[in-house]
Amino acid sequence: MTLRIGVIGTGMIGSDHARRIQTVLAGASIVALSDVNIDGARAVQSEIAPDAVLYSTGEELIASPDVDAVLITSWGGTHAQYVLAAIAAGKPCFCEKPLATTADDARRIVDAEVAYGKRLVQVGFMRRYDAGYRLLKKVVDSEIGTPLMVHTAHRNPTVPEQYVTPMAIHDTLIHEIDVFRWLLDDDYVSAQVVFPRASRHSHAKLADPQIVLFETKKGVRIDVEIFVNCRYGYDIQCQVVGEEGLANLPEPMAIVTRKDAKVQNAILTDWKDRFVDSYDVELADFIQAASRGTAAGPSSWDGYVASITSDACVEAQEKAGQIIDIALPERPSLYN
Ligand code: NAP
């Protein structure tokens, strides 16, 4: 059976996921498209999914009997309304991060899914599907003893002028927030943000770099350097220090050259290239689970926890140096 997918939001990531489903992955087909910018949906129809039907609203697309599952890739502020509509219709949905832009909306989604009684939502935290992180998790789980500390960095060469301090949490750190919980099978109890000397490449509305310090329930300390004007490349680092040894996230594959008395390899510069393979794997997982009428991978609960944690981190930015407690409600058994 081919899973019939409708896409809401046909911008950058929506059109890329549509291409992936149409040309790379098996088991699914794009049958419906919707976007407030109808020309964008039309372009995806003509270039990627000629048989797809255009819907004027996301709600109509979700309600269509021709749509089995939904991809929500519109602007973040619209995700909650579409996820709630998909749950109400009993249709599996893949929602790009963030699940919602407020913790209250994310909680509403969790409650609706729990009331439905079965998982229907996968959140687009694709790092869990990255081959490097998966290898790292295997080693952390089996070879280096109990994890004690994690040293990490998220560096971008530059960011657009409109990128301001809180975006370092909502747009950048959000992936780390999710992936460390999964990597360590743990939750956060507090966050603190400290600001080193600012880079001259930043501007008045962006404190860059920043260091976020987490403590987890199990007592692990995690430091994350966020440096979005680092100039030299897009560089994701993660080192887990355990009782018996340490493990590093592998570097992306790159050709090493020896020339002019130098050994060199290129560093990526575009974030889109770093996790490109993981998008294929996460959507393959979505197609498999949605074909069985359910969802796998990062859940609404994970999206909700990410939202609570982001809010605490933004507060920690505003109260630089102060330790902000992160209190999580009890996890419903649906997510155990
Ligand atoms: P984008 O290029 O701006 O595309 C978003 C599209 O949604 C635009 O065509 C926009 O139309 C449309 N839209 C806005 N409001 C809508 C509504 N109410 N109903 C239907 N469509 C609506 O943005 P993007 O970069 O693709 O990002 C989309 C989402 O994916 C964001 O939440 C982002 O955080 C997430 N994302 C995740 C990753 C990842 O690595 N996991 C990477 C990139 C993006 P207008 O342009 O007319 O507003």
Let me know whether 224 and 242 are in one domain.
yes
Beta carbons of 44 and 14 less than 8 angstroms apart: yes
Let me know whether 324 and 264 are in one domain.
yes
Q: In what order do the strands lie in the sheet with 188-194?
A: 246-248, 235-242, 147-155, 221-227, 210-216, 188-194, 324-325
Return the pLDDT at 111: 98
Report the separation in Å between the CA atom of 202 and the middle of ligand 1, taken as the mean of its atom positions.
Answer: 26
Let me know whether 104 and 200 are in one domain.
no
| C-alpha angle 191-197-201 in degrees, rounded to nearest 5 | 110
Let me know whether 73 and 108 are in one domain.
yes
Nearest atom (ligand 1) to Cα of 13: 26
- Split into its structural domains, the chain has a count of 2
- Regions of the chain short of the pLDDT cut 50: none
Return the pLDDT at 1: 87
Let me know whether 113 and 229 are in one domain.
no
Return the pLDDT at 324: 98
Let me know whether 187 and 331 are in one domain.
yes
Contacts of 327 by beta carbon, 8 Å cutoff, 6+ apart: none
Return the pLDDT at 233: 98
Query: Per-residue pLDDT tens for 103-156?
Result: 999 999 999 999 999 999 999 999 999 999 999 999 999 999 999 999 999 999
Q: For the whole model, what pTM was predicted?
A: 0.97
Nearest atom (ligand 1) to Cα of 40: 9
Let me know whether 117 and 263 are in one domain.
no
Let me know whether 104 and 52 are in one domain.
yes
Let me know whether 261 and 159 are in one domain.
yes
Beta carbons of 73 and 13 less than 8 angstroms apart: yes
Return the pLDDT at 158: 97
Report the separation in Å between the CA atom of 79 and the middle of ligand 1, taken as the mean of its atom positions.
Answer: 9
Let me know whether 221 and 75 are in one domain.
no
The CATH number for 164's domain is 3.30.360.10
Residues with CB under 6 A from ligand 1: 8-14, 34-37, 40, 58, 73-76, 78, 96-97, 124, 126
What residue has token string 């403590």? Answer: 215
**Atom 45, ligand 1: residue with shortest CA distance:** 37
Structure tokens given for 171: 């747009």
Let me know whether 116 and 198 are in one domain.
no
The residue segments making up the domain with residue 34 are 3-126+277-298
| Of 28, 21, 66, 14, the residue nearest 291 (C-alpha) | 28
Contacts of 212 by beta carbon, 8 Å cutoff, 6+ apart: 169, 173, 191, 192, 193, 223, 224, 226, 313, 316
d(CA 73, CA 86): 13
The CATH number for 93's domain is 3.40.50.720
Let me know whether 262 and 178 are in one domain.
yes
